[in-house]
Structure 1
């Protein structure tokens, strides 16, 4: 699929329409891809039940609907500023005073391949003020009769770069969230994760946790189990219409708190699985 060059959205609260949807199906599971809207999943439907807040429920705000990839960082970068290899960088801010969720969730992704139950997408990362390091992001989406498998990766280009990956699903408010994390990153007055780790506090949450167990959502008589090959999870359940459960390879402000360096050509990947039971 060819896409024209589109400048990234500077305001994460600005509207971003879904554009054309591409449906993947297997058994009772249906998944709608919106590649033009940040390479996101616009809807997940299992046995007739919609699981994601759509663009109308999210007020069409770029940040607030579907399930989108966060690359090459996840969560907020404090005031858009970080240091890497002895240099100071200041990225444009798009969420108040901070830079949030990377550059992929507001840019069109290219469909590299698509079938009835699977698709592969890619995005060439910029080498400009929005992200000076370049690189390439890829994702695959695979649908089974009761399982959705997501794979997200970023590969550095000719320059070394920092990287944190994540998925940001906006699940329609579940009847129950089963979540028992081991620890959490406390937030400071700017709402940014800090160290040292602390014991988990009662919700409502907009926090990053260390969690080694699967997470379960119960809704409309269905059970959804979430697994990922990471122990960092962000949970946001303060919205009345949705709950976000986000696997990430590191914490928010990760370029400062948990530096992960990719050498030229090196790759970072994240697997995220969703499995339904009646």
Structure 2
């Protein structure tokens, strides 16, 4: 396993929580950004790359487990956000060339709202700071059964002004090299160079197979992504919203990230951002999305 939290604290401070049902078990760290640390099935083994409790730099997180993406995902070039009201210069990530990356929610302690043997609900009340200029409330709900982990996400604009926003989830699936990956997405997207003024372009996909090679793609109009293990199938299902899927595969893991907008969408001119999934949330408005991870036939 790889490293975990932001400082030298004990396990109780990490807010470690486990839910389970039959052979399926999920462990979380609420204090380390509302992360899922391990998703394990007794027959299938680790579904996600497991993550342990060693300290790590909050801006250089381990490639393991899964973490929430609020209120955006991907890079904010030069850590800048331009809205209809004004421009904001945010704090950049020193490991990402000064760009901001994947939102601040994964670097904040979350709160347990409810917890049972097979469910967990956690939330984050975010106050505007140098990493994001709007207040929001984020919520993650997890429910586990013998074969499935259900994940529900929500984002509420708690500011007194309109706010751009998005939601997503960033899991690192444990996939062996040489194992083909498939997805029923209908489109693959390309974003134009920053400052060009061009619109994002979508290319129709004619095959559901993405092979075995390392690759990074932005997909849309999808409902399932899956791969076969020696014990059977692992699948990610889209239940509601989260129309886009980031596919990022390396030699040791595969990220299948269900998200509400294209990565890099904030670099587009404001009038083109809706074509890339960016929404402007009115005060009190909510975004919702849900997915499931299934193991078995």
Please confirm whether the aligned pair reaches a TM-score higher than 0.5, indicating the same fold: yes
Q: How does 1:101-180 map to 2 (within 5 A)?
A: 101-157=102-158, 158-174=160-176, 175-180=179-184
Partner Cα separation in structure 1 for residue 287 and residue 51 of structure 2: 29
Q: Which residues of structure 1 form unaligned runs of 5+?
A: 1-13
User: C-alpha displacement at 1:76, in angstroms?
Assistant: 1.4
Secondary structure of the equivalent of 2:78? helix
Asked if 1 retains the 8 angstrom alpha-carbon contact of 2:4 and 2:32, the reply is no
Residue of structure 1 equivalent to 2:203: 198
Q: Which residues of structure 2 form unaligned runs of 5+?
A: none
Correspondence 1:35 to 2:30: yes
Correspondence 1:85 to 2:84: yes
Partner Cα separation in structure 2 for residue 115 and residue 66 of structure 1: 21
Residue of structure 2 equivalent to 1:275: 294
Q: Which deviates more from structure 2 when the two are superposed, residues 59-68 or residues 212-221?
A: 59-68
Residue of structure 2 equivalent to 1:185: 189
Residue of structure 1 equivalent to 2:65: 66
Residue of structure 2 equivalent to 1:10: none
**TM-score, normalized by length of structure 1?**
0.85
Residue of structure 1 equivalent to 2:5: 16
Partner Cα separation in structure 2 for residue 37 and residue 140 of structure 1: 16
Q: Deviations over 1:128-153 (max 9, x none)?
A: 11111111111111111111110111
Asked if 2 retains the 8 angstrom alpha-carbon contact of 1:52 and 1:172, the reply is yes
Partner Cα separation in structure 2 for residue 106 and residue 22 of structure 1: 18
**TM-score, normalized by length of structure 2?**
0.80
User: If you compute each CA radius of gyration, which structure gives the higher value, 1 or 2?
Assistant: 2
Asked if 2 retains the 8 angstrom alpha-carbon contact of 1:16 and 1:106, the reply is no
Aligned-CA RMSD value: 2.6
Partner Cα separation in structure 2 for residue 107 and residue 59 of structure 1: 15
Asked if 1 retains the 8 angstrom alpha-carbon contact of 2:47 and 2:234, the reply is no
